[in-house]
Amino acid sequence: MFSLKAALVKPFAKRVHKSVQKWAMNPIETQEKVFFELIKKAEKTAFGKDHDFGTIKSHEDFVNRVPIRDYEALKSYVERVVAGEENVLWKGKPLYFAKTSGTTSGAKYIPITKESMPFHVEAARNAILMYVAETGNTAFVDGKMIFLQGSPILDEKNGIQLGRLSGIVAHYVPKYLQKNRMPSWETNCIEDWETKVDAIVEETLPEDMTIISGIPSWVQMYFERIIEKTGKKVGEVFPNFNLFIFGGVNYEPYRTKFENLIGRKVDSIELYPASEGFFAYQDKQGEKGMLLLLDSGIFYEFVKADEFFDENPKRLTLKDVEIGVNYVMLISTNAGLWAYNIGDTVQFTSIKPYRVIVSGRIKHFISAFGEHVIGKEVEYALNEAMDAHQIEVTEFTVAPQINPTAGLPYHEWFVEFEKLPANLEEIASKIDLALQNQNSYYYDLIVGKVLKPLVIRPIKKNGFQDYMKSIGKLGGQNKIPRLSNDRKIADALEEFILVK
């Protein structure tokens, strides 16, 4: 059957692909242009005056005048913006605040400006168009699309609207997608996540779903409810579902589980969005890593993760980065964030063009004994065991056990399995060896009998969901940290352990 929409998408995708290639093939010049535009436009703001933006002629000048800051360090400026003051971090006032839950200071208010907002929308659109340009697949455009996200209801603070980023973006869905987009506005406004998922299931079951998008752990919940309701695999319920779009966490630990829930393989596109900016998306199906968005009003700097806590760590620009090194990513943006540490660590998988994977969080690591194990390492080790033992994992997190009741300390893995394996010790051994092979510090601690090999604590069915519910963080953009350097989460999970 002829589809006008599908026919129009292909030339549009081709045009976007050509435009993306133009800046992706000129990365250093593109970033320099973004850098000087940002400095010039913010020169007369309070922040620009405080940091002598008028005298900045190079990246070196910028490094000398603008220190690395996280939200806490930038908070005094943000509070002035929240209070209604103009021209503080960026010219004028922001259009929105993306409200996120901070770990140390309660709510965080991340500004979104009229200059930065279009890039949040454009990047998500271009990710799909780049997929069309590569694959030629337009079969999904006439079906229904679902984006599992936060409520679009916005509050107001001193004339500036605020809400979750996904709720803000919901107001910018293009007209040509409105009829295809699900869930309904009313359902999207439901605050309680479990009630919302049930309502989404009811709404989508009769529809021809072709794209499903969201954080994997919450999409999984949606898929499981569909199977409970119908007794069929998701791919059978939605025969034309052929594109899964996700972001927020590494998909690999979920891949096997998802293929089982769907009943077949589907193409996927990984995104790297955040309240602070949309940083990257997967531009090639066969490539590892996401294309770093260099022409989106964001200037990037990188600090080697193992030097980050030094007194004066070296700040690198794109031209100096290397493949496979773990970097803390800093951003300066057209929303008024400057040398801002978003907390993520990335590794480059390619520098022609520049592609990254998110390797973890600079605060989410285990180094209770000097091992500095990061998220990418535990995810890789778990995947090795999953492949070798044909097991499915629903969710997991890792913490150090510093004071065991007997014997040496160890890393404690809290794992929710789809089906509890009989050979937990074999699986633990496989994970431990894979971790030793990646991390020489961890290897030395095991060999030197400072640590004993890791221990797995199986979590009961839906235990992680129950834990998130118990702390009021079920659904939305909330997710379990892969790693903690303390026992806060680990101790709370004790009541959800399957076998004590």
pLDDT at 150 over 80: no
Nearest to 93 by CA among 106, 84, 102: 84
> Would 186 be classed as within a structural domain?
no
Q: How many domains does the chain have?
A: 1
As a whole number of angstroms, the distance between CA 254 and CA 389 comes to 15
Give me the pLDDT at residue 104, please: 43
Pairing of the two strands 155-157 and 160-163: antiparallel
Q: Hey, what amino acid is at 232? A: K
In which domain, by residue range, is 470 found?
Answer: 375-496
Identify the weakest region by mean pLDDT among 127-136, 172-181, 211-220, 366-375: 172-181
| Full-model pTM | 0.81
Tell me the pLDDT band of 178, cut-offs 50, 70 and 90.
Answer: low
Percent of the chain with pLDDT over 90: 61
Contact 165, 273 (CB under 8 A): yes
Chain centroid to Cα 200, Å, comes to: 23
As a whole number of angstroms, the distance between CA 222 and CA 201 comes to 7
> Would 57 be classed as within a structural domain?
no
Q: Which residue has the tokens 């393989």?
A: 265
As a whole number of angstroms, the distance between CA 344 and CA 436 comes to 23
> Would 271 be classed as within a structural domain?
no
As a whole number of angstroms, the distance between CA 197 and CA 170 comes to 17
> Would 437 be classed as within a structural domain?
yes
Give me the pLDDT at residue 142, please: 85
Helix (H), strand (E) at residue 101: strand 96-101
> Would 400 be classed as within a structural domain?
yes
Contact 173, 211 (CB under 8 A): no
Give me the pLDDT at residue 38, please: 98
Identify the weakest region by mean pLDDT among 177-191, 223-237, 292-306, 387-401: 177-191
As a whole number of angstroms, the distance between CA 438 and CA 432 comes to 10
pLDDT at 250 over 80: no
pLDDT at 103 over 60: no
Helix (H), strand (E) at residue 491: helix 488-493
Q: Please give the residue that has the higher pLDDT: either 219 or 79.
A: 79
Mean pLDDT along residues 290-310: 94
Give me the pLDDT at residue 477, please: 63
> Would 490 be classed as within a structural domain?
yes
Give me the pLDDT at residue 4, please: 55
Q: Enter the tokens of residue 228.
A: 């409970």
Give me the pLDDT at residue 2, please: 41
Which residues neighbour 147 within 8 Å (Cβ) at sequence distance 6 or greater? 166, 170, 181, 213, 214
Q: Hey, what amino acid is at 223? A: F
* CATH number for the domain harbouring residue 471: 3.30.300
Q: Which residue has the tokens 């998408």?
A: 9
50: helix, coil or strand? helix
Give me the pLDDT at residue 362, please: 77
> Would 309 be classed as within a structural domain?
no
Give me the pLDDT at residue 3, please: 57
State pLDDT tens for residues 368-423. Answer: 887 878 888 898 999 999 999 999 999 999 999 988 888 889 999 999 999 999 99
Strand arrangement, sheet containing 455-458: 393-401, 410-417, 455-458
Q: What is the DSSP string of 117-153?
A: HHHHHHHHHHHHHHHHHHH---TTTTSEEEE------
> Would 361 be classed as within a structural domain?
no
Burial pattern 49-76, b for ≥16 Cβ within 10 A else e, equals: eebebeebeebeebbeebebbbbeebbe
Give me the pLDDT at residue 1, please: 43
State pLDDT tens for residues 104-139. Answer: 446 789 999 999 999 999 999 999 999 999 999 988
Q: What is the DSSP string of 180-226?
A: TEES-HHHHT--SHHHHHHHHHHHHTTS-EEEEES-HHHHHHHHHHH
As a whole number of angstroms, the distance between CA 219 and CA 479 comes to 12
Contact 289, 271 (CB under 8 A): no
